[in-house]
Chains A and B, each alone.
Chain A
């Protein structure tokens, strides 16, 4: 038993309560994350290997279409497949984390209406599961870098920085969406469309050079562009990320997380009643 004293009147401090709730439930979070990773493919023959196979197959399809039919030229001498796979992995991480974390509370209604668990545990666990999934699938990218002769630069040890920043960004967004989805279920459909839009505004499969100059700002204000550029530089030595991109990445991560948690903690009281 974690709590041996419950007072319904005790004030819930925004931010501080969430942090202590999540820490108190770290054992549960670890269980949910491993369950997420294993249950997803439990009924399939290949099991957890789908974590690697899935992005590989997507990349294969897009490589045929955009690498051969469209023949996109990538700046520098990076093979297109490395450029493409790195982009797809990071965008998939973002999309999975936001979608899973945003629907986590609605999906856990069966638990939340029966036992007391702080709802944010489910949202944050889903975002962490997506991050772990991303770290596992990173192995294919590294293998392909070796095979294509790109190699693995030493900067790869800093890859956890954009990964953690992305975790903060997606957890913050996920909490906001999760709380909103309890009130209006169609927030989740809207989120799907939003993710699609932001994915196309991120140069995953096309080079930034094909974007006409007057539209360039649309790419620049998209925070994912900064995340992706930083990630590409660290993981295979891609075109240099400028200082503002690092700043934009870190600031957006912190701001979105803080705002997400703060707004979430203002609405938690009515959440379970509405489920």
Chain B
């Protein structure tokens, strides 16, 4: 048996919510002296363990605020876990909140290079790929135009095109299948599927339970940072839907 692409063991992540809302050093000093510093710990991810095999599509479902996006960010290395351990074997393409670092004053070309480099690719490679990326996103005519003149749909297309212009070992996807107009949605879904066919492991978070049951090999139900259930997508979705219908969600 080969090693899993992602192994998460007892992962916890703590957010410290300070009730006293300290914004300055002075307040901090005063409140420390007065012993008024009361932190409330919020465990956004609470003791979650799972393995994702190579080539497996793993869906994560759960209500708002369950910690789905936080868990994605831990796998994408953005947030280090407070305790526990995450191992990711292979290159990761994070597709969470696309378009990080887009700059309105720079052209489409310059933004393609910058965004791709932020995602871990080299500037040379991005310069070579920029025109093909723009072509795929239907933005060839806009490649030398500053981003301020782009519509929000164009921005989303550009970001998606850059983010998926690789052959990653692991794809971390957060609700990005609903990008752009209907025609672009079809093409972007196709591209996602071709990445999956090429053997990438995929972690997918979606509120759309049909997407999860269509694509995923296995699913996890996350609620308040806890892993409530892992198993076949339909079983997990059914169990989750029962609580929603029962009025707990």
Residues of chain A having any CB pair with chain B under 8 Å: 1-9, 27-28, 30-31, 35, 39, 42-43, 108, 110-117, 184-187, 190, 269, 272-273
Contacts and interface: CB of A to CB of B under 8 A. Distances in A.
Given A1-B121, A6-B92, A184-B24, A39 B105 contact: yes
B198 to A, nearest CB: 15
Contacts of A28: 117-118, 123
A184 B110 CA distance: 33
Given A31-B123, A114-B96, A115-B119, A7 B103 contact: no
B30 interface: no
A167 B228 CA distance: 52
A269 B80 CA distance: 7
Nearest to B98: A114
Nearest to A29: B117
Nearest to B8: A8
Contacts of B103: 35, 39
Contacts of A190: 25
Interface string B99-115: 01101011000100110
B91 interface: yes
B35 to A, nearest CB: 19
B120 interface: yes
A108 B84 CA distance: 27
B47 to A, nearest CB: 15
Nearest to A28: B117
B167 to A, nearest CB: 9
B106 A39 contact: yes
Contact of A42 (B77, B79, B81, B105): B105
Interface in B110-169: 110, 113-114, 117-124, 166, 168-169
Contacts of A273: 13, 15, 79
A115 B121 contact: no
B23 A185 contact: yes
B94 A115 contact: yes
Contact of A2 (B78, B87, B120, B124): B120
Nearest to A189: B24
Contacts of A272: 78-80
Contacts of B121: 1
Contacts of B86: 6-8
Given A1-B121, A8-B80, 17 more contacts: A3-B77, A4-B89, A4-B90, A5-B89, A6-B88, A7-B86, A111-B100, A111-B101, A113-B97, A114-B78, A114-B94, A115-B100, A115-B118, A185-B24, A272-B78, A272-B80, A273-B13
Contacts, number: 105
A226 B129 CA distance: 48
A209 to B, nearest CB: 39
A161 B169 CA distance: 45
Contacts of B87: 5-9
A117 B24 contact: no
Interface in B45-92: 73-74, 76-81, 84-92
A5 B84 CA distance: 17
Given A35-B106, A110-B100, A115-B94, A5 B117 contact: no
Which residue, of B15, B89, B120, B166, has the highest number of chain A Cβ atoms within 10 A? B120
B186 to A, nearest CB: 26
Nearest to B28: A184
A1 B15 contact: no
A35 B147 CA distance: 14
Contacts of A111: 100-101, 118
Contacts of B94: 114-116
Contacts of A1: 91-92, 120-121, 166, 168
Interface in B1-38: 13, 15, 23-25, 28
A7 B85 contact: yes
Interface in B162-203: 166, 168-169
A114 B85 contact: no
B246 to A, nearest CB: 34
A273 B74 CA distance: 11
A270 B60 CA distance: 25
A111 B98 CA distance: 10
Nearest to A7: B87
A4 B25 CA distance: 40
A31 to B, nearest CB: 6
Contacts of A30: 123
A116 B93 CA distance: 10
A111 B101 CA distance: 5
B6 to A, nearest CB: 9
